[in-house]
Structure 1
Amino acid sequence: MEPNDNVVGSKSPTAVAINSASKAGEWIKSRLGTIKQLDTKLSPQDLVTDVDKGAELMIRKLILTHFPDHDILGEEGVPPGAAASEAALAKASTSEYLWIIDPVDGTTNFVHGFPFFCVSIALAYRGEVVVGVIYDPIRDELFVAEKGKGAYVHGNPTLVSEDAELSNSVLAVGFNPDREFALPMNMKGINALALETRSIRAGGSAALHLAYVAAGRLSGYYEVGLNAWDVAAGALLVKESGGTVTDTAGNPYHLGVRHLVATNGKIHNELLQSLAAAEATGI
């Protein structure tokens, strides 16, 4: 069975992903500035709110209404930390159809009212991502990708940038909440890249960074210490827009990759070489 053939009530997986992301995103936007409960997970910098939990519940219900036999891996259903994330993914990896959800990617931004966060929903078929949807409710931008069918924002095809050299590129980086391993490792990379690129940006949402690489707004994105739900939808967007996604050692992307490099493809090898020279791969 092909992934898009498993349809209930004439709803395709892509349509369900779009509907779920849109509805959750609008609800999240309506809750901006009204947080009732703020907790921490991995560290005092790793935040979670009642909105994250409510949005994930909403998305789960919408998906399971159409695909009750599918499995779901959502950020809020997994304990914090790399080991728990890897264990949850390993358990879910046997699923034929696995939805991978980040209800609010950029929770810290959301908490502080900084308007750079999104809903990220991906569907993997036998371990390979076949649908990716990212919705930014503040800008009302909906990024959609289907394996082999390209990627789009508002129905217009997305294409990666034409920058051919790292020195002419604007890259996104991340300040990871894991302050024991990931953040110090990222800082090594950031220190190197700040001198080798036109400029670097840290928006605080891995999924939106990837969507922006896909749309040609950034030429690349690097971060150590990510999770499957941060990356799955965005990685497909980048690939379907003509870009390249690997781990920091240059190995092909798969759902278990935690140390990520995503680029327009043209600067990929140069970026990998810079990270290796800075001993900033995390591998």
Structure 2
Amino acid sequence: MSQTLHPMLNVAVKAARAAGSLINRASLDLDLLKVNTKSPNDFVTEVDQKAEEVIIETLLGAYPGHGILAEESGRTHGAPHSEYVWIIDPLDGTTNFIHGFPYYAVSIALAYRDQIQQAVVYDPTRNDLFYASKGRGAFLNDKRIRVSKRTRMSDALIGTGFPFRKGDNFKRYMKMFEDVMVSCAGVRRPGAAALDLCNVAAGNYDGFFEPGLNPWDIAAGSLIVTEAGGLIGNFTGESDYMYQREVMAGNPKIYAQMVGLLKKYSRVIADDAKPAGIGAEPLDAADADAKNLPDWSPEAALAKAEAEAQSPEALAAARKKRAVRIRKEDVAPKGDAQG
């Protein structure tokens, strides 16, 4: 790699390549792989865990005072109160990996005071390295990448991801999917959000949207998109997306048109006058249980209020609480939203 990288980015690249080598070796004999189920359709393999271990060992070996937020181990490693936090998905696209479908990646990002500063997404099957440092542009291997220049939604290719866990609101998603599908040239769902965001950055997709994602799915890709000249946010188009479990990205022109299509489905909006079937649809009690939401979470409060048909005042309070940004300290690992 001829380009001089930021020292912290250099360490992240080293960690990503080490994890990628481990993943490639394991992919040669998938029949021997031990697969566990975290929840229905949500898998973790010994490869996820070993890859995460080698990443954390590499990062903390260089920066022992930094914090860690990782998909499989959460915050159990690193310094708990550091202003520097590495956000790690050791294998984004586990379901693809298990089935030998070559679309998965290692995702590593460094946040300083909640702002992503360094990002690496490594595709081990193609040996493609996407990376970015804040203010220095986005790259694929040694080549600078930029978002596409398409301006019309009717010409756009859009990436997405489907809900797949018990309790996910699939009917709501299908309405969203239909609105986008009839407005664009095509929709694709390969199954790894980190790579999907990199494809937006490289101009292969003109836009991307998905509900239900966790910070480790999108942290690295988010910086790569913005450094490539793209925009990323929640379904209302605002920049508060990392912990809101909904994300949308695209080149500026397509992004603006996607906001027009998706904002009515945003779970961020606290709108008590919203008609039935729009936006954050009520969760029934079974859905609330299936999500295994922590009692303290704003989403759990909203689910409880709606499930128990509480008064309009109580429901409004729950929605208002849900609309407040969930601080990263409160995010607990729930698995790979891409499988």
TM-score for both structures, normalised by structure 1: 0.87
| Alignment map for 1:12-31 (pairs within 5 Å) | 12-31=7-26
Give the SS at the match of 1:77.
coil
Deviation (angstroms), 1:260: 0.3
Q: Say whether residues 1:44 and 2:40 are aligned partners.
A: yes
Equivalent position to 1:248, from 227, 235, 255: 235
Deviation (angstroms), 1:255: 3.2
2:248 matched residue in structure 1:
261
Give the SS at the match of 2:265.
coil
- In structure 2, how many angstroms separate the alpha carbons of the residues matched to 1:45 and 1:113? 16
Does the 8 Å CA contact 1:151/1:237 hold for their aligned counterparts? yes
- In structure 2, how many angstroms separate the alpha carbons of the residues matched to 1:11 and 1:61? 19
Equivalent position to 1:201, from 172, 188, 193: 188
Q: CA RMSD in A?
A: 1.8
Give the SS at the match of 2:135.
coil
- In structure 1, how many angstroms separate the alpha carbons of the residues matched to 2:137 and 2:120? 12
Deviation (angstroms), 1:192: 1.4
- In structure 2, how many angstroms separate the alpha carbons of the residues matched to 1:13 and 1:218? 29
One-letter amino acid of the counterpart of residue 23, structure 1: A
Q: Deviations over 1:35-70 (max 9, x none)?
A: 4311112x3211111100110011000001100110
Q: Deviations over 1:82-104 (max 9, x none)?
A: xxxxxx7xxx9953000000000
- In structure 2, how many angstroms separate the alpha carbons of the residues matched to 1:69 and 1:254? 27
- In structure 2, how many angstroms separate the alpha carbons of the residues matched to 1:187 and 1:93? 39
Deviation (angstroms), 1:213: 0.2
Equivalent position to 1:282, from 267, 271, 279: 267
Deviation (angstroms), 1:185: 3.2
User: Which ranges in structure 1 are unaligned for 5 or more consecutive residues?
Assistant: 1-9, 79-87
Q: Say whether residues 1:54 and 2:50 are aligned partners.
A: yes
TM-score for both structures, normalised by structure 2: 0.73
Does the 8 Å CA contact 1:21/1:133 hold for their aligned counterparts? yes
Q: Deviations over 1:205-242 (max 9, x none)?
A: 00000000000000011001100000000000000000
- In structure 1, how many angstroms separate the alpha carbons of the residues matched to 2:50 and 2:134? 29
- In structure 1, how many angstroms separate the alpha carbons of the residues matched to 2:81 and 2:251? 31
1:223 matched residue in structure 2:
210
- In structure 2, how many angstroms separate the alpha carbons of the residues matched to 1:234 and 1:249? 19
| Alignment map for 1:73-112 (pairs within 5 Å) | 73-78=69-74, 95-112=82-99
Give the SS at the match of 1:171.
strand
One-letter amino acid of the counterpart of residue 167, structure 2: E
Does the 8 Å CA contact 2:65/2:82 hold for their aligned counterparts? no
Equivalent position to 1:127, from 114, 128, 132: 114
Q: Deviations over 1:142-190 (max 9, x none)?
A: 0000000001011110100011011110000101233423544332211
- In structure 1, how many angstroms separate the alpha carbons of the residues matched to 2:111 and 2:41? 30
Does the 8 Å CA contact 1:135/1:141 hold for their aligned counterparts? yes
Does the 8 Å CA contact 2:109/2:116 hold for their aligned counterparts? yes
Q: Deviations over 1:226-273 (max 9, x none)?
A: 000000000000000000001111111453232000001111121111
Does the 8 Å CA contact 2:236/2:266 hold for their aligned counterparts? yes
Does the 8 Å CA contact 1:185/1:224 hold for their aligned counterparts? no
Give the SS at the match of 1:148.
coil
Does the 8 Å CA contact 1:186/1:223 hold for their aligned counterparts? no
Aligned length: 259
- In structure 2, how many angstroms separate the alpha carbons of the residues matched to 1:274 and 1:254? 17
